[in-house]
Structure 1
Amino acid sequence: MSVDIDTVKRVAHLARIAVDDADAQRMTGELNAILGFVEQLDEVDVAGVEPMTSVIPMEMKKRADAVTDGDKAADVVANAPASEDNFFVVPKVVE
């Protein structure tokens, strides 16, 4: 993939970045170099490589996937002007 000056200016416009012609010309070369490196990485054979989260083997910390109320109901209503049985008490607005 190759980037031209029009593409650089369009992306700059979408990002709301002011880019003059000299900067657009410079960025064209830089972006093409970056995309060339990404294309090089795409050529690497990773067929037998397992996905990993770290460069050293380690077990991810996991928590139990259980639905709870958080056991914080009293804390939630602690600063409420009025509460009853861990519910907010509000004035009646509909007759």
Structure 2
Amino acid sequence: MSLDIDTVRTISVLARLRVPPEELPALARELSGILDWVEQLAAVDTSGIAPMASVADVSQPQRVDAVTDGNCAAAILANAPGRIDDYFTVPKVVE
């Protein structure tokens, strides 16, 4: 696919890029080369290939999805500037 200078100028305006007029022909050649490469990739038959997120077939260790209190309330409240029992105290902001 070949892009002309007017199309590249339109793309640069849509992308909010300031491209000097003397750089438009070189940019048009580069973008045309990228689109040609994408067309080559589209021609490859991938019908028997499963989609994957990584080249290596590994999975991350999973933890049990359970709600807990963290068992560290005392450590968290130790950093509080003010507290009453097991609660933070904050200045009143609404009358």
Scaled by the length of structure 1, the TM-score of the pair is 0.70
Alpha-carbon distance in structure 2 between the residues aligned to 1:24 and 1:70: 59
1:28–1:78 Cα change, 3 Å: farther
User: What is the identity, as a one-letter code, of the residue corresponding to 1:21?
Assistant: P
Let me know the Cα RMSD of the aligned residues: 2.7
Match status 1:68 vs 2:67: yes
Runs of 4+ in 1 over 6 A off after TM superposition: none
Alpha-carbon distance in structure 2 between the residues aligned to 1:61 and 1:2: 43
The percentage of counterpart residues that share the same residue type is: 41
Alpha-carbon distance in structure 2 between the residues aligned to 1:70 and 1:3: 58
Alpha-carbon distance in structure 1 between the residues aligned to 2:6 and 2:69: 53
Alpha-carbon distance in structure 2 between the residues aligned to 1:2 and 1:78: 65
Q: How does 1:15-94 map to 2 (within 5 A)?
A: 15-52=15-52, 53-54=54-55, 56=56, 58-64=57-63, 66-69=65-68, 71=70, 72-94=72-94
1:85–1:15 Cα change, 3 Å: farther
Scaled by the length of structure 2, the TM-score of the pair is 0.70
Alpha-carbon distance in structure 2 between the residues aligned to 1:2 and 1:74: 66
Unaligned runs of 5+ in 1: none
Q: How many residue pairs are counted as aligned between the two chains?
A: 93
SS in 2 for 1:17: coil
